[in-house]
């Protein structure tokens, strides 16, 4: 257990508020779903409001600075709404920035931190539990928490956590430790259960699947061979394989991929420069990666091989950055993350303007990869067919999208925590999901005046008044734009703060 204060006892049948303070991490989103299922399957009710709940559980991520801030903001917001409620803080941030989490919990009557691999602690909180946490089977995201995640609806099987590597930029290892693998037959049983339930796409998840089995005396070749031997209906995709261990097993893996049961794998190259790879403590070369992708394409021409890059690490030069852009072209698509220093990792050595220039280059590349970036992870085997036809099925919807509904709920939490008042007599009086956006209305207490705002999914290219990692905020009511008086400006600034955004 990563720390506790006071005693938490969740009564049988209690109402429990569960909050996911991030987007994007396959592992953690599954843990949120499992926490939800654990309490529900043990007779508790999942509440929409922390004020009504016996406890609040917040699942966190610490992968980068912005996710940490998002998690700490959520803790503060939920504390404001339910000041006496016991709090359970789960997830990687409890390990990566434990001190800051503890600070945010100061004054909370009872709290407990539950880090990765410590989920058995939930059984200590719920004395009436008939099902232990580890017995709960959760293989699907919940749209309540992951509505905006393109992996929603995919059947997921966690094969391992942690890894055997020591990449110098990484904090995941700090949070999860060395590899902990699920026995092969347990993975096979979970996959078969998914196929029996009618799922045809199985997504294998692990921080580094190449490290699989290092703690069990088996390896990734044995796992994937067992899953694909003898044919069968399901198709697989897998995220992610650290290249040096993947390449060490490649001779054994190629015959497995030749069975054409994999739609997609993720092989994070991270850099197109051998000097930067060395600084990252990644023990392979760019030539190794090129060779591995070429051999994969030969063995499984229909399989999508995608990758991740980090740019701006270890004083990466403009030429080294260009080398990553160049290496990206050997993959079906590449995802790029700008390097953000984390506790215990090197500082950034590149000027902010140069990072902005590189972000622009990266965005241009992602745009060139087109709509497929959005749909690629939605339903992989189907997407592979669309990919081949170069056609994108994304169409509009009449009813608010799940993303809009979920975002409206999150923004509402922030607005309510701040009390909805802005400045100079202005306050937020309406907030609702509308198609694929959230609309906010601010009115003035003394005069017949309104300002209308639109919140959409973050797009770095699109002009906006303010933004956060997930959203763009735009002022849409013309007169406010045309005649911004001082009071309005104060109210606009207050709204930006309230929503945790920046200009």
Residues at the site binding ligand SF4, with contacts judged by CB under 6 A: 163, 165-167, 170, 172-173, 207-208, 242
Instruction: Please state the closest distance from residue 173 (CB atom) to ligand SF4, in A.
Output: 4
The DSSP secondary-structure symbol of 421 reads B
For ligand SF4, the closer of residues 137 and 166 by Cβ is 166
Instruction: Please state the closest distance from residue 167 (CB atom) to ligand SF4, in A.
Output: 3
Residue 90: helix, strand or coil by DSSP?
Answer: strand
Nearest to 88 by CA among 173, 177, 176, 6: 6
For ligand SF4, the closer of residues 337 and 424 by Cβ is 337
Instruction: Please state the closest distance from residue 118 (CB atom) to ligand SF4, in A.
Output: 18
Instruction: Please state the closest distance from residue 448 (CB atom) to ligand SF4, in A.
Output: 56
Residue ranges of alpha helices (H) inside 93-242 are 93-96, 98-105, 121-125, 143-146, 172-176, 184-196, 220-228
For ligand SF4, the closer of residues 169 and 321 by Cβ is 169
Instruction: Please state the closest distance from residue 270 (CB atom) to ligand SF4, in A.
Output: 8
Instruction: Please state the closest distance from residue 171 (CB atom) to ligand SF4, in A.
Output: 8
For ligand SF4, the closer of residues 117 and 419 by Cβ is 117
What is the residue-wise DSSP string for 153-187?
T-EEEEEEES-S---TT-SHHHHH-S-EE--HHHH
Please name the residues in contact with 502: beta carbons below 8 A apart, sequence gap of 6 or more: 466, 467, 468, 496
Instruction: Please state the closest distance from residue 165 (CB atom) to ligand SF4, in A.
Output: 4
User: How many whole angstroms separate alpha carbon 202 and alpha carbon 47?
Assistant: 30
Compute CA distances 53 → 47, 105, 121, 256, whole Å: 6, 18, 19, 49
On whether the CB atoms of residues 114 and 121 are closer than 8 A, the answer is: yes
For ligand SF4, the closer of residues 136 and 223 by Cβ is 223
Tokens of 281: 């403590």
For ligand SF4, the closer of residues 128 and 166 by Cβ is 166
Tokens of 12: 């049988």
Instruction: Please state the closest distance from residue 243 (CB atom) to ligand SF4, in A.
Output: 9
Instruction: Please state the closest distance from residue 180 (CB atom) to ligand SF4, in A.
Output: 12
The number of beta carbons lying within 10 Å of the beta carbon of residue 188 is 14
User: How many whole angstroms separate alpha carbon 256 and alpha carbon 2?
Assistant: 40
For ligand SF4, the closer of residues 45 and 166 by Cβ is 166
| Residue that has been written with the tokens 């994304």 in this structure | 394
For ligand SF4, the closer of residues 79 and 176 by Cβ is 176
User: How many whole angstroms separate alpha carbon 160 and alpha carbon 36?
Assistant: 21
The number of beta carbons lying within 10 Å of the beta carbon of residue 84 is 9
* Phi/psi of residue 113, nearest 5 degrees: -105, 130
On whether the CB atoms of residues 52 and 21 are closer than 8 A, the answer is: no
For ligand SF4, the closer of residues 337 and 363 by Cβ is 337
What is the residue-wise DSSP string for 12-62?
TT-EEEEEE--S--HHHHHHHHHHHHHHHHTT-EEES-GGG-SEEEEEE--
Tokens of 351: 């000027």
For ligand SF4, the closer of residues 163 and 408 by Cβ is 163
For ligand SF4, the closer of residues 41 and 168 by Cβ is 168
User: How many whole angstroms separate alpha carbon 503 and alpha carbon 496?
Assistant: 8
Instruction: Please state the closest distance from residue 276 (CB atom) to ligand SF4, in A.
Output: 14
Nearest to 176 by CA among 33, 318, 353, 2: 2
Instruction: Please state the closest distance from residue 170 (CB atom) to ligand SF4, in A.
Output: 3
Instruction: Please state the closest distance from residue 108 (CB atom) to ligand SF4, in A.
Output: 31
For ligand SF4, the closer of residues 73 and 173 by Cβ is 173
What is the number of residues in the chain?
Answer: 503
> First and final CA of the chain: distance in angstroms?
39
Tokens of 209: 């699947």
Instruction: Please state the closest distance from residue 283 (CB atom) to ligand SF4, in A.
Output: 11
For ligand SF4, the closer of residues 313 and 387 by Cβ is 313
The Cα angle at residue 316 between residues 469 and 340, in degrees rounded to 5: 25
């Amino acid at each position: 257990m990563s720390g506790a204060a006071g005693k938490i006892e969740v009564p049988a049948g209690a109402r429990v508020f569960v909050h996911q303070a991030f987007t994007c991490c396959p592992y953690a989103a599954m843990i949120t779903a499992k926490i939800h299922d654990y309490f529900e399957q043990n007779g508790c009710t999942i509440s929409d409001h922390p004020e009504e709940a016996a406890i609040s559980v917040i699942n966190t991520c610490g992968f980068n600075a912005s996710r940490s801030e998002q998690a700490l903001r959520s803790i503060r917001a939920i504390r404001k709404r339910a000041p006496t409620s016991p709090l359970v803080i789960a997830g990687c941030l409890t390990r990566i920035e434990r001190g800051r989490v503890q600070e945010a919990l100061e004054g909370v009557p009872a709290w407990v931190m539950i880090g990765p691999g410590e989920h058995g602690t939930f059984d200590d909180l719920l004395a009436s539990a008939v099902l232990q946490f580890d017995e709960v089977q959760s293989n699907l995201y919940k749209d309540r928490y992951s509505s905006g995640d393109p992996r929603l609806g995919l059947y997921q099987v966690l094969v391992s956590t942690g890894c055997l590597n020591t990449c110098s930029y990484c904090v995941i290892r700090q949070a999860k430790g060395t590899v902990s693998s699920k026995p092969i037959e347990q993975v096979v049983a979970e996959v078969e259960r998914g196929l029996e339930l009618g799922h045809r796409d199985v997504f294998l998840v692990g921080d580094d699947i190449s490290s699989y089995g290092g703690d069990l005396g088996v390896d990734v070749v044995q796992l994937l061979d067992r899953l694909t031997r003898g044919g069968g209906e399901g198709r697989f995709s897998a995220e992610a394989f650290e290249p040096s261990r993947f390449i060490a097993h490649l001779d054994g893996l190629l015959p497995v991929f030749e069975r054409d049961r994999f739609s997609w794998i993720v092989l994070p190259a991270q850099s197109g420069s051998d000097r930067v790879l060395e600084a990252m403590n990644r023990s392979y070369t760019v030539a190794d990666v090129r060779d591995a992708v070429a051999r994969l394409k030969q063995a499984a021409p229909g399989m999508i091989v995608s990758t991740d890059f980090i740019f701006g690490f270890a004083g990466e030069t403009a030429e080294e950055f260009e080398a990553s852009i160049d290496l990206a072209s050997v993959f079906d698509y590449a995802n790029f993350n700008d390097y953000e220093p984390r506790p215990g990792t090197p500082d950034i050595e590149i000027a902010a303007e140069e990072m902005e220039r590189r972000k622009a280059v990266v965005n241009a590349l992602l745009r060139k990869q087109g709509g497929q970036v959005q749909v690629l992870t939605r339903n992989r085997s189907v997407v592979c067919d669309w990919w081949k036809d170069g056609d994108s099925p994304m169409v509009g919807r009449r009813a608010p999208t799940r993303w809009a509904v979920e975002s409206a709920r999150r923004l509402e939490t922030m607005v309510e925590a701040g009390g909805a008042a802005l400045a100079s007599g202005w306050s937020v009086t309406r907030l609702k999901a509308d198609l694929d956006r959230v609309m906010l209305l601010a009115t003035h207490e003394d005069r017949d005046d309104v300002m209308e705002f639109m919140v959409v999914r973050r797009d770095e290219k699109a002009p906006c008044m303010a933004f956060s990692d997930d959203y763009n905020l735009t002022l849409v009511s013309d007169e406010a734009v045309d005649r911004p008086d001082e009071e309005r400006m104060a109210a606009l600034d207050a709204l930006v703060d309230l929503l945790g955004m920046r200009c």
